[in-house]
Amino acid sequence: MPSLLFRNARLLTLALPGQTGPRRGKALRELGVLPHGEVLVADGKIAAVAEKVDAPADAELIDAAGRVLMPGFVDCHTHACWAGDRLDEWEKKLNGVPYLDILKAGGGIYATVRAVREATQKQLAASLRERLTEMLRGGTTTVEVKSGYGLNTEAELKMLRAIRRAASDWSGTVVATALLGHATEGDVEDYSRMVTKEMLAEVSREFPDIAVDAFCEKEAWTVEACVRFFEKARKHHPIRVHTDQFNSLGMIPEAIRLHARSVDHLEAASKNDLTALAESNTFGVVLPCTGLHTDQRFAKAGFFADRGGALALATNCNPGSSPTHSMPLAIALAVRFCGLLPAEAIVAATYNPAQLLGLTDRGSIEVGKRADLLLLRHKDERQLAYELGGNPVDVVVCGGARVQ
């Protein structure tokens, strides 16, 4: 792999010497800017960062011409593995048909469940691979991908195997999550007991270290069902929680008590719950693209950040509520509707989600870290939040290799 030398760059190193763990408070706004800098990439890692760097004579030179060089995006919450589409459902919603009526007619998430069950593992992996390729073009070098459209053990395992297969020949990094509590079939209590007793055991055997997830919401899993599931799952797996998207049901205090790795959505979260979450070790993940596409509800991310919360930002890429894989769009929406400053949104889209996923080797431009880098078209990083639409990324380096 040839060495790469970036010259004449505005570097967002996101480096804060001596600090470990997620960035909070004032640190969430620190981009570690080096106004005129150089970065040497060798053997897949960052070999040098300085105003001037000595490089091998055969290094490939990339002249940034004053543009922004920054870490790759880390999208820590997606449902990017699916089959079929939801276009008919979307058109019905545009014509005023309530979502609950669509669900009762077998649409919504259940339409995707049917399509996933009908698809082969190879087909699921191929469609996910296409989406991963598009994500990389937009600067996402690390992505979390959930299962959750299977709803039975066989289909959930098929999804997880498809995610693993797609990840094996992608230059970026995929972190799989077993979303075993996404929806229900039949009575929620009976179904959740089956998942807890049977499905969890099968997933644990094949994917022993995977994080597990559940969706606490009306028409999904109750607080009691989630707690019962997580109490068992956390003995062997990290846990993550979808909650407070539409209703505040009391899951946030339970997630904190259970030491969940993250609580995601938060659009309906109360200020008291957000404050408690900010004071805990659990990340809060906001998903503003969902609000844009569904009901114009957005999490109070600025409030959460001001209280010292460990904040991350993601796309929630999925066929129903967030049909996008654009992290720049998520940044732009988080600044407009969630109360974040551009610098806070950038850290929440790079360094902090890497910490959430347990990947401490990326998210900042520091010697020895994995070389996942983006050269933007822009000379001012605030353009990431200001510009709507289009792709702000000119050059992508993933694992030390130039892929765009």
Q: Summarize pLDDT for 352-390 with one digit per residue, the tens.
A: 999 999 999 999 999 999 999 999 999 999 999 999 999
Cα–Cα distance measured from residue 335 to residue 381, given in angstroms and rounded to the nearest whole number: 13
> According to the model, what pLDDT value does residue 1 have?
82
> According to the model, what pLDDT value does residue 197 have?
97
The closest alpha carbon to 369, from 31, 113, 49, belongs to 49
> According to the model, what pLDDT value does residue 54 have?
92
219 has a pLDDT exceeding 90: no
- The type of residue at 208 is P
pLDDT tens sequence across 42-86: 999 999 999 999 999 999 999 999 999 999 999 999 999 999 999
108/269: higher pLDDT: 269
pLDDT tens sequence across 90-146: 999 899 988 768 877 778 899 999 999 999 999 999 999 999 999 999 999 999 999
> According to the model, what pLDDT value does residue 59 have?
95
Which whole number is the average pLDDT over 294-319? Answer: 97
Domains and CATH numbers, the chain: 4-71+362-402 (2.30.40.10), 74-356 (3.20.20.140)
Q: How confident is the model at residue 398 (pLDDT cuts 50, 70, 90)?
A: very high
- pLDDT more than 70, % of the chain: 100
328 has a pLDDT exceeding 90: yes
2 has a pLDDT exceeding 90: no
| Three-class SS state of 290 | helix
Those residues whose C-beta lies under 8 Å from the C-beta of residue 77, and which sit 6 or more positions away, are 144, 146, 262, 264, 285, 287, 312, 314, 315, 316
The closest alpha carbon to 391, from 136, 71, 129, belongs to 136
Q: How confident is the model at residue 13 (pLDDT cuts 50, 70, 90)?
A: very high
